[in-house]
Amino acid sequence: MIPDSTPKASYGRFIRAVQFLALASALAAAPAEARTLRVVALGDSLTAGYGLPPGQAFPDVLQKALRAKGFDVDVTNAGVSGETAEDGLARFEWSVPAGTDALIVELGANDMLRGLPPEGAKAALSSILAKAKAENIATLLAGMRAAVNLGPGYRQQFDAIYPDLANTFGVELYPFFLDGVAGDPKLNQKDRLHPTKDGVERIVAGILPAVENLLATIPQ
């Protein structure tokens, strides 16, 4: 109890101090408001979902898998069939909007299939990673491997692109996007290049731990 002799001004300050401490305590105890993480999958037909019905493309299946794991995420499909790494770089600004939290880069397959010089794909991917880094976007680089018929020299140069860039930029690396799917007729469409629904499920199961690691680096 405040003594009768306490001046009214002092009493008022005392009450305000008590109210402030109570409010500060309540705010400190309140859990931080969760927010939806915005993930963009920037890629070619393997990301776009070529030959698959709506809702079965890689970004859709990945989003479903992440939400099942308890992640509050929206995964945007920024895949365009037929694109090279340079094409992906050219549309980076409008495909990866401001506010993107995480980026999955899946590009280079078409460079390889067309036999384009590996240094061109590497330069374009390097620029993409540099842009993402400048915007503080957590990034996962999905690797690709060259076909056997392109020769050992080409394969060595091309396959080295992804680990080299991941090391240079310090980003998460998933070594081979089609791991467990490439070459399996049961998991690929008739063109033997694009995964079926089951193929996409296999891709997501393989890459999921790397994506979880990526999301864990994002401040909440």
Quick one: tokens of 175?
A: 């070594």
Is 56 part of any domain?
Answer: yes
Rounded Cα distance, 73 and 96, in Å: 15
User: What are residue 104's DSSP bridge partners?
Assistant: 41, 140
Contacts of 52 (CB under 8 A, 6+ apart): 194, 196, 197, 200
Residue 67, pLDDT > 50, answer: yes
With respect to residue 1, please indicate whether it lies within any of the assigned structural domains. Answer: no
> Quick one: which H or E segment has residue 24?
helix 8-29
Per the structure, how many domains does the chain have? 1
What was the pLDDT predicted at 217? 95
Going 115 to 81 to 142 to 105, the CA torsion angle's sign is positive
Nearby residues of 178 by Cβ (< 8 Å), 6 or more positions away: 46, 144, 145, 195, 203
Name which of 6-20, 51-65, 155-169 the model is least confident about: 6-20
Residue 9, domain member (yes or no): no
In a domain, 31, yes or no: no
For residue 25, what pLDDT band results from cuts at 50, 70 and 90? low
CA-based radius of gyration for the chain: 25
Does some domain include residue 13? no
Return d(Cα 204, Cα 213) in angstroms, integer: 14
Residue 74: inside a domain: yes
Residue 124: CB partners within 8 Å, gap ≥ 6? 84, 85, 86, 88, 89, 107
Tokens of 96: 């990866």
User: What is the percent of the chain where pLDDT is above 90?
Assistant: 83
- Give pTM, 2 decimals: 0.85
> pLDDT averaged over the chain?
90
pLDDT at residue 8, rounded to an integer = 52
pLDDT average, residue stretch 185-191: 97
Active site residues: 45, 191, 194
Q: How far apart are CA 145 and CA 109, in angstroms?
A: 8
Mean pLDDT of 26-30: 46
Determine, yes or no, domain membership for 3: no
Alpha helices in 149-189 (DSSP H): 152-159, 161-169
Domain of 182, in residue numbers:
37-216
CATH number at residue 95: 3.40.50.1110
Whether 19 is covered by a domain: the verdict is no
